[in-house]
């Protein structure tokens, strides 16, 4: 007898992350999508919203009904604005389905931090402790046992993974960490805002949310766990005229090697640490010396490309990371989390070769 | 014992079409690439040329040695400039391997037409009759038996498929056909020319090769077969600031219906003809009424999206077609041809959902 | 005593065409802007809407009050949606100020054609006969005497000027005229619509308004005057991923020369006709043989670049024209019209060198 | 009798900076260009290289002959690769003409630093002390008296001006300064390199020259003068898919106020310092609180837009600056320098309103 398919439901299927989730799950041999949730397009054919799915998806969009969904599917993806998942989840629902939440609702353990940065009341803080932060390469074992996974943000995934081994090993002074991040425009979502019009974004670059972007506390919390103590850092996002991709450039002071006459570590030492953490990770590629990550080299795939340069003049290390914000930064990582939660091979449905050019 | 893999060699693997072929064949379960040919990068790691293949392809680039290749592989793809394939092919080689030629060498049956439009001598006209024009939806049966397939050009595939049913059925006056085509810049190749620099192409659109582009005779020949007589038509390509995608807008006068009081045909009649030809074709999608093809809706996939509008004021029909020039316009169609030539399911390795945005 | 300044008011100053008008008038030594009208941003500093004017314009946005405006200024520019200008204009207003209307309200002489294509009632058809169609190179003398000028559309200006001499001289069969037009995205305006978001437009090209775009009857009317009889033609606009620029590619059958054994005209004959019409026109540049117009070469300027290729194989001529849709296609032509209406040198304030890259 | 015109010669007139210089000088009422130098296009019409100048510039390109030039012009602009100006300049030439050198040859006072970072021998170090670093807002008086001005680099101008007042006033700890810079692609020049092809740059962002970019020592030297001591800092450039524009995001630790209980300075204090330095500078705009600089808001103009945010959580200040790399970052600043050197109003020919969109 054949293996039964995992039935999936998506709440928020017509946002960019939702659309990418559909694209990825179409190529996943163990999953079938049973519910295309989209409050804005109820009863409309899904392919009429995204014509790329013409003759591929014939379903119509459904309302956001998590109770009904829990009866019909095995896993729910919530690719919705903050607050929705927290307002719908319940013991009964969690007893029936697993949830991968792509919003920020369960990423931050401290409810007061969440409420301060997001400016909304958290409707179900009782699940914060249970929820597992779904950064697969860091929390793999926890995710395997989770009912509720908090899928990390796009900036966050890239920012954390790029610095994680060096913070964890104490090779950098974590208080000096500065993250300068650059994102394609799909990260801003599909809402019809003047600021996201073609003519406003094209031929332009700007910083935004300076010293106040919501992904900051998420990065600080996770890197704080690595450092073993609370951290504050600077995170500055920029909007880049391209559809997809996040590049982070991270700066930190290297700690002198205690065992080497207080000299700075050399390339080989740092490289060895990255390899130790990521050498066996399929989706993290530590590049060859001298090669800078480019977002185009990971586009459409679940890879994160990472590299670094040591500046002996200033005693700092410059770390760089690149990913596709809709794949490893959203839908791809969500599928990776689902694979872990259901005991499937972690890369199932994610063997995507980056598309160039 | 399992089915043996098809061994493939690519000559010209470091051009954009070559790179796309590698991407597609990586996802093809019956093929393994044995030879990454690239005269410019001999002995260099393939991933150093295209970093998207880092940790995916570990091979080095090889010289263009078709005789040696013929010993080692089952199929050769030539993604090279005009003239190379014709200068290398021989009876002995064709006795050992099948060839899918992505250049123009074997597309045009009349050697004098080839030599006039391409300005070079044809080195092996003796194979012109044997070579099958690899437009799968039109020449499927011939391709299945072919040793040498001439993979159509990107503009050509889009231009022909968009008009084919109406020319074949005599619904339009083929002498009035005007094709206005728009292409992304990857069609210009990876050669380092000033005209293809970012700053020259970006924020710009222009026509080029007006009344003299080399794809013209190829379109005329194939649509001439459909019409049952020689044709001349206007084909005008334009360079668009985007990486991938071809859109054609085709204009022709509709023929009045003989059996309907010489009135023009209505939407339903034309739609029925398109459906008759393409209704069962996986890779050709005739869109719903009123929906115009957009290149973005087919990006990264092997689809051609087609639609039309009748203008009763002028008696003309406007046909539109969109494809990804590197997939259905090059590498995807090459794989589709290979599948047919080796008796595999035609869409093997080509179940690619278009990527949006 | 010095010459007094022309006081200008703009209704719709915060649209893209309005903003361009402000940019151009800032560099016009005989004009000062007295009124920045913008219903959406009343009482907001103009530079807060368009930060490029920071420390250049310090005024606040005002309501759309044409009566009040007529007291304060010498010329009113209406850069507003269709219907507004027609609903506000009156004898009293026209007795006090001159108006350059950038909307379509007074472009089409036949009110029923206007109402059919625009789907709204015309509120002041009594001014249709008085209004002068503001295509400066064609209607110069009329514009000089006008109180109310109908500034042509962006597609229209480019489409008409490109074909005008050949239609006027009867060198082409006007019934065969097909206009395939490509526009940058600023032509779609600054309204917050999903279809104009960066991620929807970028890396994409599509036709729209096929066989039904509102600029069609405007082109037909004006070219009909040139031909001396009513015309119908095909006009197909396309949306291109760039901010500015319109390129038209126009196809028509050449008429055989009566006096030359019914042969087709040669390059020199056609060129002579273009030179006869445009040789002394500052803003129309007929390019050298073999050079195709590119939108980038006119960006930011008031130029229209025009050229053509004869295809003896098909007997057709391919005409091409390029302009900046916000300058010669909107604000630049509006200033040119104002200059004519006020007896100023026609190019005053318009000596703009195109910006490249 | 009227004022005589300044005769200008450009060596390197067909690079992007050279072309921009021609655009700006066309609009300068006191200058006429006498020499369009371009070794690659000798005897070719200048407008054939840059069609935007069709019917505007009718001259042909000339060889690079500085001695001959010195006879014919009053000012020479060298918009050439490093090394050329230094190899041509001489006492005799400097006795006849003034030179604005847009290359790096005379920017760095320490010849060993120049030779180390640029990897070439300096051919005329004897002029290093005489040459004035042409950052107009900082070195205005020196420039007025200079025969030889070293026009600053594009990254450099933006990086220095953004931090200058705070370094000069000791408000930040200059050793903590980190500059993350993002540039449009015209900064890479017009050379035909694969890395600068449209398809390689588009939809992509990457860092390059990490910890080793040649503009680093230039920034360090100039900010070192402001600090009153030598500095080292991190400067990381990134390539952004747009034609023009540089954005810098600079991070530094604020120094606690000695006279305020060691508290960090507040917004108003920092703003007052910026206003003190730049309040009367026409080309430097310190934006309103909360407004982040965007490259698009300065495109085509000579403005630098600057702003900052204090992050009390980390004790750092984030400074941001934006300019057009071809104007204030190259040709515009060169004209500004020329104006100062010839006693003209500093903004003559530079009253350019930024173009949006």
- Each of the 357 residues of chain A gets a pLDDT tens digit; together they read 346 899 999 999 999 999 999 999 999 999 999 999 999 999 999 999 999 999 999 999 999 899 999 999 999 999 999 999 999 999 999 999 999 999 999 999 999 999 999 999 999 999 999 999 999 999 999 999 999 999 999 999 999 999 999 999 999 999 999 999 999 999 999 999 999 999 999 999 999 999 999 999 999 999 999 999 999 999 999 999 999 999 999 999 999 877 767 789 999 999 999 999 999 999 999 999 999 999 999 999 999 999 999 999 999 999 999 999 999 999 999 999 999 999 999 999 999 999 999
What pLDDT score was predicted for residue A109?
Answer: 97
Q: Which of B61, B85, B136, B154 is catalytic?
A: B154
Alpha-carbon gap, residue D306 to D323, rounded angstroms: 9
Residue by residue, DSSP assigns C143-206 as HHT-SEEEPPPHHHHHHHHHHHHHHHTT-B-GGG-EEEEEE-GGGG-S---GGGBHHHHTT--E
Q: Which residue, among D238, D172, D233, has the nearest Cα to A313 in the 3D structure? A: D233
What does residue D204 show for φ and ψ, rounded to 5 degrees?
-155, 150
Q: How far, in Å, CA of A210 to CA of C126, rounded? A: 56
Pairing of strands B98-101, B148-150: parallel
Check CB contact of A180 with chain D, cutoff 8 Å. yes
Whether the Cβ atoms of residue B208 and residue B183 lie closer than 8 Å to each other: no
Q: Does A47 touch chain D (CB under 8 A)?
A: no
Asked if C242 lies within 8 A of B202 by C-beta distance, the reply is: yes
Residues of D in contact with C26 (CB under 8 A): 353
Instruction: State the pLDDT at residue D186.
Output: 98
D217 DSSP 8-state letter: H
Radius of gyration of chain A (CA): 20
Q: In chain C, which residue's Cα lies nearest the Cα of A189? A: C199
DSSP string, B93-119: HHHH-EEEE-SSTTT-S-HHHHHHHH-
* pLDDT value, residue C1: 38
- State whether A243 and C193 contact (CB < 8 Å): no
> Is-contact B197 B191, C-beta < 8 A?
no
Task: Return the residue in A51, A196, A280, A325 with the most chain B beta carbons within 10 A, the one to mutate for interface testing.
Answer: A51
d(CA B294, CA B281): 19
**How far is the alpha carbon of C313 from chain B, nearest alpha carbon, in Å?**
7
Residue D314: both structure tokens together: 């980390």
B92-114 mean pLDDT:
97
Residue C23 neighbours by CB under 8 Å, 6+ apart: C52, C331, D353, D355, D356
Quick check: D331 pLDDT over 80?
A: yes
How close C204 gets to chain D, by Cα (Å)? 13
Asked whether the beta carbons of residue D204 and residue A238 sit closer than 8 angstroms, the reply is no
pTM, to two decimals: 0.97
Could you tell me which residues are beta bridge partners of residue D236? Answer: D180
Q: What is chain A's length?
A: 357
- Separation CA C103–CA C150 (nearest Å): 7
Q: How far is B294 from chain D (nearest CA, A)?
A: 18
Domains of chain B as residue ranges with CATH: 6-130 (3.40.50.720), 155-325 (3.30.360.10)
Distance from C-alpha of C60 to C-alpha of C64, rounded to nearest angstrom: 13
Residue C16 in contact with residue C189, Cβ under 8 Å? yes
- List chain B residues with CB under 8 Å of D185: 197-199, 202
Among all chains, which residue has been given the structure tokens 């379960």? B29
- The 3-state DSSP class for residue B313 equals coil
Cβ atoms of B178 and B248 within 8 Å: the answer is no
- B233 interfacial to chain C (CB closer than 8 Å): yes
Q: In what order do the strands lie in the sheet with D6-11?
A: D31-37, D6-11, D75-78, D98-101, D148-150, D132-133
pLDDT of residue D4: 87
- Are D291 and C19 an interchain contact pair (Cβ–Cβ within 8 Å)? no
Closest approach of B89 to chain C, Cα-based (Å): 34
CB-CB neighbors (< 8 A) of C16 in chain D: 357
Mean pLDDT, to the nearest integer, of B199-216?
97
> Out of A185, A186, A192, whose CB is closest to C192?
A192
Which residues between 240 and 279 in chain B have a beta carbon less than 8 angstroms from any beta carbon of chain C?
240-245, 247, 249, 251
* Backbone torsions φ then ψ of C321, nearest 5 degrees: -140, 145
Q: Which of A241, A293, A311 faces D241 most closely, judged by CB atoms? A: A241
pLDDT-derived band at D1, boundaries 50, 70, 90: very low
Mean pLDDT of B278-296: 98
Q: Does the CB of B298 have a partner CB in chain A at under 8 Å?
A: yes
Place of tokens 């064709």: B94
- DSSP-derived letter for residue C30 is T
What integer pLDDT is reported at residue D2 of this predicted model? 47
Q: Does D44 touch chain B (CB under 8 A)?
A: no
Q: Residue D301: how many CA atoms within 13 Å on its side-chain side? A: 27
Three-class SS state of A195: helix
Q: Does D51 touch chain B (CB under 8 A)?
A: no
Task: Write the pLDDT tens digit of every residue in D265-318.
Answer: 999 999 999 999 999 999 999 999 999 999 999 999 999 999 999 999 999 999
Cβ contact (<8 Å) for C357 and D16? Answer: yes
Q: For residue C36, what are the β-bridge partners?
A: C10, C61
Q: Which two tokens stand for residue B67?
A: 């005789």
| D31, β-bridge pairs | D6
Over range D79-98, report the average pLDDT: 95
Tokens of B51: 């970093």
Q: What is the DSSP letter of B74?
A: S
Q: Which residue of D has its CA nearest to A320?
A: D207
Q: Do B357 and C199 touch (CB under 8 A)?
A: yes
DSSP state of B39: G
In chain D, which residues have their Cβ closer than 8 Å to the Cβ of B198? 185, 196-198, 200-202, 241, 243
C242, C293, C299 ranked by CB distance to B241: nearest: C242
Q: List chains touching B (3+ CB pairs under 8 A).
A: A, C, D
Pairing of strands C316-323, C304-311: antiparallel
8 Å CB contact of A203 and D242: yes
Count CA within 13 A, CB hemisphere, residue D162.
Answer: 34
Partner-chain residue, chosen from D206, D314, D316, that has the shortest CB–CB distance to A247? D206
Q: Which chains would you list as touching A if contact means 3+ CB atom pairs under 8 Å?
A: B, C, D
> Counting Cβ atoms within 10 Å, is residue D29 exposed (0-12), middle (13-18) or buried (19+)?
exposed
Q: What's the alpha-carbon Rg for chain D, to the nearest Å?
A: 20
What is the predicted pLDDT for the residue at B228?
98
Q: Establish, for the pair of chains C and D, how many residue pairs have beta carbons separated by less than 8 Å.
A: 73
Cβ distance of B293 and C238 shorter than 8 Å: no
Which pLDDT value is given to residue D257?
A: 79
B320 interfaces chain C, CB cutoff of 8 Å: yes
Residue B218 CA to residue B113 CA, distance in Å, equals: 9
The pLDDT, as a whole number, for residue D3 is 66
C-alpha to C-alpha distance for C334 and C348, rounded to whole angstroms? 12
The angle subtended at Cα A53 by Cα A47 and Cα A58, nearest 5°, is 55
Could you give the residue ranges of the DSSP H alpha helices within chain B? 16-26, 46-49, 66-72, 84-88, 91-96, 111-118, 136-145, 154-168, 198-201, 215-227, 267-278, 332-341
Backbone CA torsion sign across D72, D77, D79, D84 = positive
Nearest CA in chain D to B15: D194
Per DSSP, the three-state class of A7 is strand
Determine whether the interchain pair A357/B291 forms a contact, defined as Cβ–Cβ distance below 8 Å.
Answer: no
Which residue of A44, A52, A187, A197 to mutate against C (max C Cβ within 10 Å)?
A197
Partner-chain residue, chosen from B299, B353, B357, that has the shortest CB–CB distance to A27: B353
Question: Rounded to a whole number, what is the distance in Å from the CA of C29 to chain A's nearest CA?
Answer: 29
Task: Tell whether the model's pLDDT for residue D177 goes beyond 90.
Answer: yes
Residue D4, classed as helix, strand or coil, is: coil
The answer for residues whose C-beta is within 8 angstroms of residue A62's C-beta and 6 or more apart is A35, A36, A37, A38, A42
More confident residue, B252 or D3: B252
Tokens of C298: 């006119």
Interface contact A357, partner C, CB < 8 A? no
Residue linked to tokens 């391997």 = B97
Query: What residues does A182 pair with on adjacent strands?
Result: A238, A247
Provide the pairing of β-strand A316-323 with B6-11. unpaired
Tens digit of pLDDT for each residue in D223-282?
999 999 999 999 999 999 999 999 999 999 999 877 767 789 999 999 999 999 999 999
Residues 6+ apart with CB under 8 A from C145: C132
What 3-state DSSP class applies to C357?
coil
Do D218 and D44 form a contact (C-beta atoms < 8 A)?
A: no
Residues of C in contact with A198 (CB under 8 A): 185, 196-198, 200-202, 241, 243
Give whole-number Cα distances, D317 to B53, B66, D178, D267, in Å: 40, 62, 11, 10
Residue A185 in contact with partner chain C when CB distance is under 8 A: yes
Q: Which residue has the tokens 């410059």?
A: A318
Output the 3-class SS for A277-331. Answer: HHCCCCCEEECCCCCCCEHHHHCCCCCEEEEEEEECCCCEEEEEEEECCCHHHHH
Q: Is C335 helix (H, G, I), strand (E, B) or coil?
A: helix
Mean pLDDT, range B56-71, rounded to an integer: 95
Q: Which chain A positions have a beta carbon within 8 Å of B298's beta carbon? A: 52
- Here the tokens at position C34 are 């007295």
Query: Token pair for residue D219?
Result: 């920034």
B2 pLDDT more than 60: no
Give chain B positions within 8 Å (CB) of A299.
Answer: 52
What residues in B contact C155, CB-CB < 8 Å?
none
Assess whether pLDDT exceeds 60 at residue D106: yes
In the prediction, which pLDDT does A1 show?
38
CA distance D57 to chain C (A): 10
pLDDT at residue A306, as a whole number: 98
pLDDT averaged over consecutive 10-residue blocks of chain C (357 residues)? 82 98 98 97 98 98 94 97 94 97 97 96 97 98 98 97 98 97 97 97 98 97 98 98 98 86 91 98 98 98 98 97 98 98 98 97
Using a CB-CB distance cutoff of 8 angstroms, which residues of chain C are in contact with residue B313? 211, 232
Query: How far is Cα B158 from Cα B238, in angstroms, rounded to an integer?
Result: 14
């Amino acid at each position: 007898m054949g293996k039964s398919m995992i039935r999936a439901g998506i709440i928020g299927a017509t946002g960019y992350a939702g659309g990418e989730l559909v694209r990825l799950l179409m190529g996943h041999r163990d999953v079938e999508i049973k519910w295309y949730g989209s409050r804005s397009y109820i009863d409309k054919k899904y392919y009429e919203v995204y014509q790329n799915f013409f003759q591929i998806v014939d379903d119509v969009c459904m309302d956001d009904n998590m109770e009904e969904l829990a009866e019909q599917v095995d896993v729910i993806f919530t690719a919705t604005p903050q607050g929705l998942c927290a307002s719908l989840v319940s013991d009964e629902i969690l007893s029936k389905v697993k949830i991968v939440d792509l919003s920020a609702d369960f990423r931050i353990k401290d409810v007061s931090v969440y409420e301060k940065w997001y400016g909304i009341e958290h409707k179900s803080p009782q699940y914060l402790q249970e929820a597992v932060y779904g950064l697969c390469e860091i929390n793999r074992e926890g995710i395997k046992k989770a009912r509720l996974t908090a899928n990390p943000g796009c900036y966050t995934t890239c920012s954390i993974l790029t610095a994680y081994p060096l913070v964890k090993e104490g090779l950098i002074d974590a208080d000096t960490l500065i993250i300068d991040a650059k994102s394609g425009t799909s990260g801003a979502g599909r809402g019809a805002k003047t600021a996201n019009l073609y003519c406003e974004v094209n031929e332009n670059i700007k910083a935004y949310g300076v010293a106040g972007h919501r992904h900051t506390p998420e990065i600080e919390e996770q890197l704080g766990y690595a450092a073993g103590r609370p951290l504050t850092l600077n995170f500055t996002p920029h909007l880049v005229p391209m559809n997809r991709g996040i590049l982070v450039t991270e700066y930190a002071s290297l700690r002198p090697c205690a065992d080497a006459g207080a000299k700075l570590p050399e390339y080989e030492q740092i490289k060895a640490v990255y390899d130790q953490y990521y050498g066996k990770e399929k989706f993290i590629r530590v590049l060859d010396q001298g090669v800078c990550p480019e977002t185009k080299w990971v586009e459409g795939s679940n890879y994160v490309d990472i590299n670094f340069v040591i500046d002996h003049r200033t005693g700092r290390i410059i770390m760089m990371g690149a990913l596709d914000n809709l794949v490893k930064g959203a839908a791809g990582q969500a599928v990776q989390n689902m694979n872990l939660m259901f005991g499937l091979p972690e890369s199932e449905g994610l063997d995507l070769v980056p598309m160039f050019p």
